[in-house]
Chain A
Amino acid sequence: MNNEQNRTLIFEILRYNPLIKGDTPKMEKYQVTEAPGMTIFIALNEIREEQDPSIQFDFVCRAGICGSCGMIINGEPKLACRTLTANYPKGVITLLPLPGFELIGDLSVDTGKVMRQMSERVESWIHDQEAEDVDLTRLEERMEPEIADEIYELERCVECGLCLSACATKRMRDDFLGAVGFMRLARYAVDPRDKRTGEEFYEIIGDDDGVFGCMTLLGCEDYCPKDLPHQTQIAYLRRKMALGK
């Protein structure tokens, strides 16, 4: 744990409430006395409780698990709850909301809407006519242990949206599906319970808004907090698409 005590940290935070008429975006400065083990989560709450009760941001699990707290911290998209202030030796921390999402206010953005749309677009569920008629009293269908692990690897995505905010293609093309969608689709492509054919997957991502639009700049992989294998999977999907068609 960090032993540097009582540093005074400077937070520069983008403040803007689109619901207040006439409000304009501005950077505001706050000072916080650092405590050992302090995270951006702890610091922001201190600012809200003691200095400015109007400041907006989103945290849920505060443990790096739920994906709520993505923001741009000194230029990099990160999960704020698991970012220690000690990682910033200069003691100046600039916070901006994640780009590419509708701004709710200050550091709070609407990731929920984008992720639901993504799920609807890639039809993020098992496609199997028979799944509803499974006899629940009987043994479950077997699965090879490695396949289960492989699916889980891809399902570790927490829909934080950091990959989208770091994606140059997405910035140019709003309809570009982005890494989170590719990961989701790859997850179903390796799942034997999903009976979709290569052709059906192609329908969803076989164009320039899909895998072929990716310029392989890999901002996504650099910033994914769950270390998902974007590069490998995008290549896998491309191969699969090429074969499927």
Chain B
Amino acid sequence: MKVIYTDSLVIGGGLAGLRVAIAAKQRGYDTIVLSLIPAKRSHSAAAQGGMQASLGASVKGVGDDEDVHFGDTVRGSDWGCDQDVARAFVNTAPKAIRQLAAWGVPWSRVQRGDRQVVINGEKVTITESDEAHGLINSRDFGGTKKWRTCYTSDGTGHTMLYAMDNKAIKLKIPVHERKEAVALIHEDGVCKGAIVRELITGQLIAYVAKATTIATGGYGRLYSVTTNAVISEGIGTAIALETGLAPLGNMEAVQFHPTAIVPVGILTTEGCRGDGGLLLDKDGYRFMPDYEPDKKELASRDVVSRRMIEHMRKGKGVPSRYGDHLWLDITLLGEKHIRKNLREVDEICQYFLGIDPVKEYIPVRPTQHYSMGGVKTNFKGESIGLKGLFSVGEAACWDMHGFNRLGGNSVAETVVAGMLVGEYVADYCADTPLKIDTKTIDSFLEQERVKISDLLNRERGENPFKLKKEMQKIMMDKVGIFRNHDDLTKAVEELKVLNKKAKNIALRNRISSSNPELVEAIRVPKMIKLAQCVAYGALLRKESRGAHSREDFPQRDDKNWLKRTLAYWKDENTDLPEIEYEPLDIMKMEMPPASRGYGDDQTIAHPDTEKREKEIEQILKDNPGIDRIQTQELINPVEVPERYQGKNERVGRGFK
């Protein structure tokens, strides 16, 4: 029996996991990071567009601050987010980006003087101030009131991940590569580490730790077409679910990105539209202003994706052998801009489509992109059902995104949550002795060993690759952008069948060491369970909110549905998750529910909304003359670790 002991075990070597590891290590705790692949290859590297932080240095960002960022985030979430978390996040984001600047990210900088940009299809000259020269620049992104998305050309995630991993290497944090966590170890409601399969030798290892953090990214691969990496399969999220104790939050909240290329689903960044790119239909007509006269192409992602599908349903899509698509036109941005600021897009077009985006339109279609749901945690990043288990990044439902996340808010979440949760993980390590009955370790190891030997010994059964394909097709066809009762019911039933079949997988390649078919066989039953959480949660949620859009319940229903879905899998032998709900308390909200400002507002209001609005009004009346920061502290006080408190400075504005 191989057992490795540490203080802080981090499962996942992307931005979120590495940042947590760094925090605990800097506080003096022994830390190990597990990853399927070398950390620098994690999917965080694929983020091209940028990171939101309200620095407000560029002239188009002037006037930005935490409050504006907060408002955009909450509206973007369709009021589904946890406002305490969103508040802690927006207040810390400027610090996170400044720390990354010190750690080596070559953020693109403001150049004083005139600069030509494209806004609303027109070339416009903007003038950057002298005093902003050399500070971190920002670009426009969907759903934001200011240009807030900071970037490194179009390699933002890559440069952030490289700086982060280099920092981890400097701190001598070991990253154990080609390791897959396949189960969590827990005892008396406390998590004690994970059972891990070494992907080359096939050996099972118990990693025993005081604190365990799941930072395994999203689960886009539940769908057949996604922008996500092939390893974004949600296994970390699934092993939390399989404890029966840790619930997953809002799994039905799945984001579709408007502009992935057809057919393979590789993303072209939102920066394309942020920098002035347009969406055109088969007649070359710019249709977004007809639907969203105000934000046009830069409405929130869920809105743009739905509008695109609506427009294609009217017969305006461009027909192709892969089905209808629309065009993304960035030709108007000019060669210089494309080859420099949108170079990844340029490369993707050349290599995968054989077209030149300087001269030609890019075929795009809304495609699965981001998982708002995940391991439900409190504001400290700790699971609400299993002590000692933490989760950060896309794998978590920390819940700053609610039912729709804004572009640029995700890499920002990884590093901000990593900073904050990392401190709480370190606190937990300080307060917790490493105590575990070796029999517990033994029995968890044995359980996984038996599962694998069953797979290797079964003579006849299901093909794991086929099961996965079937699951992906169900999700794509029936649990996509627009949802309805009939399709969802079918999806739920069909997935139940797959769940059963997945208990009877047999292999053709029956060796226990490095074996891609065995990897698939271990993962597929877990993925099907996640898919069931998504589909079942979607069937039960009888309203439309953010990315969850029900054709049969088009209204947002605050009266009945202002609550978070919690999915549990308490009994391995059942074929459906148990769903519970956790209400969001309007009386604690800094920003009570209102209209998001897209289309007609048909929201079914909650009676508390008016009450809370009045209460806030009263608080403001009772405290005349307080500034915006004091106001926030009164209406929505949030806890942030001491070292990350303090007001943020902005150029031309100081600490106000």
A86-121: CB near B (< 8 Å → 1, else 0) gives: 000000000000000000110010011101100110
Give Cα A159 to B511, complex, Å. Answer: 31
Interface magnitude class on chain A: 35 or more
Which residue of chain A is the closest to B157 with respect to CB atoms?
A: A65
User: In whole Å, how far is A235's beta carbon from the nearest beta carbon of chain B?
Assistant: 22
Q: Among A131-139, A207-215, A236-244, which stretch is in contact with chain B?
A: A131-139
B19-60: CB near A (< 8 Å → 1, else 0) gives: 000000000000000000110111101100000000000000
Contact status A60-B514, CB under 8 Å: no
Q: Which residues of B contact A139 (CB under 8 A)?
A: 98, 135, 649-651
Contact status B155-A152, CB under 8 Å: yes
> Which interface residue of A61, A112, A124, A134 has the most chain B CB atoms within 10 A?
A61
> Which B residues, 119 to 140, have Cβ-Cβ distances below 8 Å to chain A?
133-137
Q: Which residues of A contact B178 (CB under 8 A)?
A: 104, 112
Which residue of chain B is the closest to A66 with respect to CB atoms?
A: B41
A/B pair count, beta carbons within 8 Å: 203
A179-208: CB near B (< 8 Å → 1, else 0) gives: 000000000000101100000000000000
Q: Which residues of A contact B351 (CB under 8 A)?
A: 64, 82, 84
Contact status A125-B169, CB under 8 Å: yes
**Given A82-B351, A144-B134, A155-B159, A65 and B344 contact (CB-CB distance below 8 Å):** yes
B149 sits at the interface (CB 8 A): no
B329-356: CB near A (< 8 Å → 1, else 0) gives: 0000000000010001001100111100
User: In whole Å, how far is A83's beta carbon from the nearest beta carbon of chain B?
Assistant: 8
Contact status B159-A53, CB under 8 Å: no
Give Cα A152 to B106, complex, Å. Answer: 6
B211-251: CB near A (< 8 Å → 1, else 0) gives: 00000000000000000011100000000000000000000
**Given A55-B516, A145-B134, A64 and B106 contact (CB-CB distance below 8 Å):** no
B162 sits at the interface (CB 8 A): yes
B647 sits at the interface (CB 8 A): yes
Contact status B38-A145, CB under 8 Å: no
User: In whole Å, how far is A131's beta carbon from the nearest beta carbon of chain B?
Assistant: 5
With A19-B200, A104-B514, A145-B111 given, can you name 6 additional A-B contacts, CB distance below 8 Å? A62-B229, A67-B41, A119-B166, A137-B647, A143-B106, A148-B107
Query: Which residues of chain B have a CB within 8 Å of any CB of chain A?
Result: 37-38, 40-43, 45-46, 94-95, 97-99, 101-104, 106-111, 133-137, 152-153, 155, 158-159, 162, 165-167, 169-170, 175, 177-178, 200-201, 229-231, 263-264, 266-267, 321, 340, 344, 347-348, 351-354, 465, 507-509, 511, 513-517, 520, 644, 646-651, 655
Query: Which residues of chain A have a CB within 8 Å of any CB of chain B?
Result: 1-2, 17, 19-20, 36-37, 39, 48-49, 53-56, 58-68, 82, 84, 104-105, 108, 111-113, 115-116, 119-120, 123-126, 128, 131, 134, 136-145, 148-149, 151-152, 155-156, 158-159, 191, 193-194
What are 11 residue pairs bridging A and B, where the CB atoms are less than 8 Å apart in the complex? A39-B352, A61-B43, A82-B347, A105-B200, A125-B166, A125-B169, A137-B648, A145-B108, A149-B153, A152-B155, A152-B159
